[in-house]
Structure 1
Amino acid sequence: MAITVKDVAKKAGVATSTVSRVVNNHPSISEATKKKVQKVMDELGYVPNIAARNLGKRTSNAIGIILPPLNSKERMANPFFLEIIEAITDESRNNNMTTAVAVAKSLNDLLEDVKVMHTQKQVSGFILAYAHQGDPVIAYLTENHIPFTLIGQPYTQHETISYIDNDNQLLGQHATEYLIEKGHRNILFVTNSIKEGIYFERYFGYQKAMMINQLKPYDSVSIIEHTDYADFEDTLITSKASAIVVLDEIFALRVMQLVQMYGYQVPDDISVISFNNSILSTLTHPYLTTIDIDASQLGHEAVRMLIRQLNGENTSITKIVVPHELIERETVIEYKKT
C-alpha cells in the first residue's frame, strides 16, 4: 500500500496541510517542524507526488532540453548532443531538478512539443542546444516570456537573450591558421549545414584567417545531398586543395571517406581538421585532429544561467564564452609541394 500524506501527518502529529507545506518548502513552517515531518517521511518511505505538486503550484522543477531538428542519421548519432544532455542533466541534479528532452525532425514539430511542455507546466524553463536562423521556437519562448538559455549565438535580440557559446569565429580562424602554419595554402571549408549559427561563424573565421594571410578563401563547399558528391570531387581537383576544415566531427568522418573514395589519402594527400573532440575522433584511423569545444562546460553553464533566470535575476546581458583547445592527432601533416 502506498504511503499517503495522511499517514505522514498522523504519525508526525500534524495536519495534512502542514505536511504539504513541508513538501513544498513553505517559509511559514519552522525548521523544527520541517525536520520532524521529514524524519517521519523518511521512516515511512513517503515519496511526494511531484506531478500533482507541480500542477497545484503551476510550476515545475524540471528543465526542458531542446535539441535541433534531428532529420538525418548523422545528426541523430552526433555525440555532441549526448554530451550536452549528460552535462545538463548532471548540473540539474546538483540543483535538485530533473530534465525533459524535446526531439523532432522539423522545427514546426519541435515547436508543438515545446508548446505542450510549457502549457502543461512540465518544465520551468528551456535550454536550446542550437541556434537556427528564424527559429519559431525562440520566437514562441520570447513572445510568451518563458525563461530560456541558448547554447549558441542568437541571430537577433543579442541584448535580451542570455546565451553561452564558444567563439566559433575564432574556432574557424584557429583551425585554418593551424593548417596555414603547416604550409597549406589551398584550403577548403566543407559543411553539411548552411542554416545554423556555427556554420556562419566558423566559415567567417576561415575566411578571416585566409585573408589575413593574403590567401584566397574559397566558397564554402556544401555536401548535403548525394548529388553534391560529384561536385565535391570536381572542387578538389580544380582547387588543388591540400587541406580541409570540416564543420563538425561526425561529418568529418564522412568527408574523409569521400576523399579516400576519390583516390586521395588522409593525411598524405589531404589534411583534415574539425571540431568537438568527441569519442568519434579516435574511433577510426587516422585519428582526427580537432578542436575541443568543452561540451560539458557548455551544458553546466547553461543550467546555471537558466537557474539564475528562474530565481528572478536579470540575465539579459549575460554572455558566456567557453574556451577551446586544439588537439593535434594524425589527420594534419606538413604540406610538401610536389
Structure 2
Amino acid sequence: MSVTVKDVAKKANVATSTVSRVINDHPSISPATKKKVRKVMEEMGYVPNKNAQNLGKGASNAIGVILPPLDSKERLGNPFYLEIIEAINEESRKHGLATAIASARNFDSLLHNVQQMHRQRQVDGFILLYSDRSDPIIEFLTTHKIKFTLVGQPYRYEDEISYVDNDNQLLGKHATEFLIKNGHKRILFVTNTTDEIIYFERYFGYQKALMLAGYDTFPAIKLHGPDDYMHFGESLTETKATAVVVIDDIFALRVLQLAQLHHYKVPDDLSLISFNNSIFATLMHPYLTSIDITIQELGRRGTQTLIDQLNNKNELTTGVRIVIPHELIERETVRKLINN
C-alpha cells in the first residue's frame, strides 16, 4: 500500500496542507519544518504525486514543440524535425521537463491544437520550429503573452520574440561565394517554398554574393510540382547556368534527379550546393556539398531560451536573439571550373 500525504502528516505531526506546501517548496513554511517533513517523507518512502504537485504550482512541467503544417511528403520526411526534436527532448530531460508535440495538416487545425494545449495547461510554454508569413500561431502566442521561443527568424514582432537561428542570409552568401570561388559565374537559386523566411534570407544572401562579385542574379527558380519540374531544363538552358544553390538537402535530392532527367550530369555539367547537412547529403550520389547548420545546437539553445523565460515568472523575457554558427562541408557536387 502506497504512502499518502495524510500518512506523512500524521507521522510528522503537522497538517496535510503543510506537507503539500513542503512538497511545493512554499516560502511560508520554515526551513526547520521543511527539514522535518522531508526527513519523514524519506523514511516512509513517500513519492510526491507529480500531477498534484504541478497543479499546486500551476505548472505542467512540460513544453510544447510546434511543427509546421505537415502538408507535403518533403515536410513529413524532413530529418531536420526529428533531429531537432531529439535535441529538445534531451535538453528538456536535464531540467526535469517533458515535451509534447503539436502537429497538423494545416494552420487552422494546428492553431486549434496549440490553443487546446495552452487552455488545458498541458504545457508551460512552446518552441516553434518554423517561421511562415501565413502562420497564425505567432499572433496567438504573442497576443496572449504566452512564453515561447522561435527556432527561426520572425516576420514581425522581432523586438518581442526570443528566437534562435542561423544567419540564413550569411548562409546563402557563403554557399554562393563557394561556387564563385570555384569559377562559377552563372548561378541559380532553386526552391520549393516561398513562404518560409529561410527562403527570403538565403535568396537575399545568394543575390548579395553575386552582386558583390559583379555577376548577374536571376529570379529564384520555384519548383512546386510536376509542371514546374518539366520546365527546369529550359531554365538551365536559357540562363546557361553552371551551378545551383538549393534551399535544403531534401529538395536537393529532387533537383539532382531533375538535372539527370534533363540530361545534366552533376557535377560535370551542373554543380550543386545546399543546406542542413542532413542524412540525405551522404545517401545521394554524388555526395552533396552542404552547409551544416548545427541542428543539435539549435534545439539545445532554443530549449534553454524557453526555460530562461519560464524561470522568470514575473516578467516576459523577450527580444533575445541567439545566432548559431554554421560550417560548409565540401563533398562531390561542386566542380571547379578551369575555363569559365
CA RMSD of aligned residues (A): 1.9
Q: 1:326 aligns with which of 311, 325, 328?
A: 328
Query: After the TM superposition, which residues 1-338 of structure 1 pair with which residues of structure 2 at under 5 Å, given as runs?
Result: 3-10=3-10, 14-29=14-29, 30=31, 31-33=34-36, 35-40=38-43, 43=45, 46=47, 48-50=49-51, 52-312=52-312, 315-337=317-339
Tell me the distance in 1 between the aligned counterparts of 2:11 and 2:249: 58
After TM superposition, the score normalised by the length of structure 2 is: 0.92
Which sits farther off after the overlay, 98-107 or 6-15?
Answer: 6-15
Amino acid at match of 2:334: V
Q: How many angstroms apart in 2 are the aligned matches of 1:249 and 1:88?
A: 22
Question: 1:15 deviation in Å?
Answer: 3.8
1:317 shift after superposition: 3.0
Cα distance change, pair 280–32 in 1 and its aligned pair in 2 (3 A): same
Partner-residue secondary structure (3-state), 2:231:
helix
C-alpha distance in structure 1 between counterparts of 2:69 and 2:252, whole Å: 20
Q: Alpha-carbon deviation of 1:34?
A: 5.4
Task: Check conservation: 2:24, 2:56, Cα contact below 8 A.
Answer: no
SS in structure 2 opposite 1:227? helix
Distance 1:198 1:38 in 2: 52
**Per-residue deviation, 1:200:** 0.3
Q: Which moved more, 1:292-301 or 1:198-207?
A: 292-301
Distance 1:21 1:270, change over 3 A: same
Q: Deviations over 1:254-303 (max 9, x none)?
A: 11111112211111111111111122211232111110111111111111
Give the drift of 1:336. 4.3
Question: Alpha-carbon deviations, 1:171-195, whole Å to 9, x = none?
Answer: 0000000000000111110101000
What is the Cα deviation at residue 131 of structure 1?
A: 0.7
- Give TM-score, length-normalised by structure 1: 0.93
Distance in 2 of aligned mates of 1:68 and 1:289? 26
Q: CA deviation at 1:327?
A: 0.6
The CA deviation at 1:166 is 0.6
Equivalent position SS for 1:285: coil
Q: Distance in 1 between matches of 2:172 and 2:335?
A: 18
Question: Where does structure 1 lack aligned partners over 5 or more consecutive residues?
Answer: none
Deviations along 1:156-213, one digit per CA (max 9) or x if unpaired, are 1111111111100000000000000000111110101000010000000001011111
2:322 is paired with a residue of what secondary structure? strand
Which range moves more in the overlay, 306-315 or 320-329? Answer: 306-315
> Is the CA contact 2:289–2:330 (under 8 Å) kept in the aligned structure 1?
yes
Q: Are the aligned partners of 2:8 and 2:37 in contact in 1 as well (CA < 8 Å)? A: no
Amino acid at match of 1:322: I
C-alpha separation in 2, matches of 1:264 and 1:210: 23
CA gap of 1:64–1:179, structure 2 versus 1, over 3 A, is: same
Q: CA deviation at 1:155?
A: 1.0
User: 8 Å contact 2:23–2:48 — kept in the other structure?
Assistant: no
Q: Any idea what the Cα deviations from partners look like across 1:5-34, whole Å, max 9, x if unmatched? A: 334445666543233223323234435235
CA distance in 2 between partners of 1:290 and 1:298 (Å): 17
CA offsets per residue over residues 54-92 of structure 1, 9 Å max, x none? 344432211111111111111111111111111111111
Q: 1:237 to 1:28 in 2, by over 3 A?
A: same
214 and 126 in structure 1: CA distance in 2 versus 1, 3 angstrom threshold: same
Instruction: Figure out how many residues of one structure are paired with residues of the other and give that number.
Output: 335
The one-letter code sitting in structure 2 at the alignment partner of 1:221 is I
Deviates more, 1:22-31 or 1:266-275: 22-31
* 8 A contact 1:62–1:122 mirrored in 2: yes
For structure 2, the 5+ residue unaligned runs are none
Q: Structure 2 vs 1, CA of residues 95 and 337 (structure 1 numbering), >3 Å: closer, same or farther? A: same
Return the alpha-carbon distance in structure 1 between the equivalents of residues 20 and 111 of structure 2.
Answer: 35
Amino acid in the other structure paired with 1:323 = P
Give percent identity, aligned residues only: 57
Query: What is the identity, as a one-letter code, of the residue corresponding to 1:36?
Result: K
Maintained 8 Å contact 2:187/2:242: yes
